[in-house]
Structure 1
Amino acid sequence: MGPHVKEQNALKTTKRFSLRNDKIKRQLAPYLFVLPNFLIFFIFIVVPAFVGLFYSFTDFDGLSDINFIGFENYQKAFTSSEYWKIFGNTFIYALAVVPLIFVCSLGIANLLIKEIRAKGFFRAIFYWPTMISAIIVGLTWKWIFGDSFGIVNYLLESIGLTPIKWLSDPFFAKISVIIGTVWARIGFFMVIFMAGLQSIPTSYYEAAQIDGASRFKMFWNITVPLLKPTSLLVLILLLIESFKQYPLVLALTGGGPAKETTFLVQYIYEYSFEKGELGYASAMSVILFFVIAIFTIIQFKWTRGGRIE
């Protein structure tokens, strides 16, 4: 074998190794891009979740030695009337907030994707509240619904009507929290729905118009089915948000009156950092996780995973 042939074989071998290295690099590149996010998620989400699960089986108070007590914390939660009251408050709140925000954000998004005058201005107006801190939103609505200093009661008194105890009456306190939440979160989900609506081909609507379909029929038979993946995403995000609501309620009502607007996250916080029962608080956090997971699975089954049929 001459030197020329040896040189050609060496070049082929080098080229083969180079192509193999390039292939490996292309395969590894996506994983390297997501590695920082994965590490952050693992360190700050996965690890604390398992630590919390461990604490839920102990009497840990943050200071004393950790003693394993089995399922006592879970038994305490399931047999506590106060816990079930707080759970009921959270469930009622979610039951009111989720459909209200879903319907309102979808309706507004459907209007603002059309060619109307100053639609950019209206989009900004509806989206603006989402950029405000939840604490600021709560304080803002507190000045609006305050029993003795609120704008609403001032207007009611100025026209001779009896002021309403917005924040000291259990029913109206819940209404105040729901109104504040809907106002603050419509814009965020409006943007998600707008993205979903704009992805639907206009040719479907044009064909339906030629067939003489009404607007309602086009919405029900075209928009609703093709928007199913977006709707599933919105429902899941809304459910998670509603079950972990805390700062807005804390600023608006403080959880009162008589814990009527105290929700699970605030209740867990009180036991964690005010009463020092971290084990019990961890057990309630684990229960909350499973409640959200169960509702999410139900939504997936109900919507068939967002598949368009």
Structure 2
Amino acid sequence: MAASTLTRTAAQERRRRGIIAAVFLVPAFVLFCLFFLGPAGLGLLYSFTDYRGYGDLEFVGLSNYQQLFADSEFYTALGRTILYTVVSVPVGYFLALLVSALLVARSAKGKTVAQVIFFFPWLVSPIVTGVIWRWLFGESFGLVNYLIDGVGLTPLKWAQDPNLALAVVIIAGSWGGTAGTMLLFMAAIKNIPTSYLEAAELDGAGPVTRFVRIVWPLLAPTSFMVILLGTIGAMKEFAMIQALNGGGPGTSNVLIVQYIYKTGFERSEIGYASAASMILMVILLIIAVIQTRFDRSDLN
């Protein structure tokens, strides 16, 4: 009798906790439906129509997708986005990893001041980041060209050369994204048991060896998350590059989200832009699945 009473009480307690958890999850679920599922469903609907932001919807089937896959501008924007992602994500990853390792080192001086300095870019919006780096790399008024000219070298045409313009975008994006990644790495490094490092130090391993052989492998879960979020963020880059050079010179550095923006809002082809958005969403899902599979294989 007592055992059945305890079992019934435990079941009631689990039910009560489940109800409380569901109550707390309802607001998140509503927001998820309102700001993700709703817009995604509407975008999917628009992608099969010729909607231009006004008037009635006319169903056109797969016409938008067929036109999209034959559009050279779409492939150019997608290719430039992939190039930007392939270069900027590793640069941002290793830059943040290096800064984090230096800031948590026992022998480092002025850690507080350095953390504030490196954390500052996270407080700046992407638009402001673009404006700052546009000023720094301006051809006729920029600080970088002023310093280059000051040492007797020929100033570079940052805004006229597509590759130089992309390099500036990569530098600006890495600078802006280092702070958030740095905090993740610093927290992960501090959670590594000091006994591992002390044992390696007693065996004669130097700081670099200890970091490469012990710290870095233990950062694998954090590295996976950083690379995944960095890849998705780079594929969706818009505000910073729009403020920096608008995808110039010309349209040589227009990334995929800029292509969608220009198509949907400047040319009023909402249906066509929605089709491009659906393709981008599928690409991001594929990237996430692939990276997740690699992460699971590493753990196994």
- Secondary structure at 2:128's aligned position in 1? helix
Match of 2:246 in 1: 254
Secondary structure of 2:118 counterpart: helix
**What residue in structure 2 maps to residue 62 of structure 1?**
53
CA shift in 2, pair 1:298/1:18, >3 Å: closer
Q: What residue number does 1:156 align with?
A: 148
Distance 1:32 1:267 in 2: 41
Distance 1:123 1:305 in 2: 35
Pair 213,73 (structure 1): closer, same or farther in 2 beyond 3 Å: same
Q: Which residue of 2 aligns with 1:11?
A: none
Per the TM alignment, residue 176 of structure 1 is displaced from its structure 2 partner at its CA by 0.9
1:106 to 97, 106, 114: 97
**Does the aligned pair in 2 maintain the 1:57–1:71 contact within 8 Å?**
yes
What is the CA–CA distance in structure 2 between the aligned matches of 1:85 and 1:140, rounded to whole Å? 27
Query: Residue 202 of structure 1: which of 181, 184, 194 is its match?
Result: 194
Q: Which amino acid aligns with 1:242?
A: A
Structure 1 pair 268–205 and aligned structure 2 pair: CA distance change class (3 A): same
Q: Tell me the CA shift for residue 236 of structure 1.
A: 0.8
Of 144-153 and 207-216, deviating more is 207-216
> In the TM superposition, what are the counterparts of 1:180-195 in structure 2 within 5 Å?
180-195=172-187
Using the TM superposition, give the Cα deviation of residue 147 of structure 1 relative to its aligned residue in structure 2, in angstroms.
Answer: 1.2
Matched to 2:17, the amino acid is R
Letter of the 2:279 counterpart: I
C-alpha distance in structure 2 between counterparts of 1:210 and 1:147, whole Å: 54
Query: How many correspondences in the alignment?
Result: 297
Of the three residues 167, 186, 196, the one matched with 1:175 is 167
Alignment-derived partner of residue 9 in structure 1: none
Alignment pair present for 1:122 and 2:82? no
The one-letter code of the counterpart of 1:77 is L
Cα-to-partner distance string for 1:228-265 (whole Å, 9 max, x where unaligned) = 11111101110011001111111110111121221111
Q: Report the residue type matching 1:71 in the other structure.
A: L
**Structure number with larger C-alpha Rg:** 1
Distance 1:227 1:274 in 2: 44
Cα contact 1:174–1:260 (8 A) shared by 2: no
Match of 1:80 in 2: 71
Residue pair 1:232, 1:306 contacting (<8 A) in 2 also:
no
The alpha carbon displacement at 1:39 in A equals 1.1
Alpha-carbon distance, 1:17 to partner: 8.8
2:229 match = 237
The 1:240/1:200 distance shift into structure 2, 3 A limit, reads same
Cα distance, 1:104–1:28 mapped onto 2, change above 3 Å:
same
User: Is the contact between residue 229 and residue 305 of structure 1 (CA under 8 Å) also seen in structure 2?
Assistant: no
Measured after TM superposition, the shift of residue 19 of structure 1 is 7.4
> Which amino acid counterpart does residue 171 of structure 2 have in structure 1?
I
Within 2, Cα distance between the matches of 1:187 and 1:78? 37
Show the counterpart of 1:264.
Answer: 256
For residues 24 and 223 of structure 2, the distance between their equivalents in structure 1, rounded to whole angstroms, comes to: 29
Q: Deviations over 1:59-114 (max 9, x none)?
A: 11121321222222111111111111111110111011000000110111111112
In structure 1, which of residues 290, 294, 300 is the aligned counterpart of residue 292 of structure 2?
300
The answer to whether the 8 Å contact 1:244/1:265 transfers is yes
Partners of 1:112 and 1:217 in 2: CA distance: 17
SS at match of 2:192: coil
Aligned partner of residue 303 in structure 1, secondary structure: helix
Residue 42 of structure 2 is matched in structure 1 by 51
Q: Unaligned stretches of 5+ in structure 1? A: 1-14
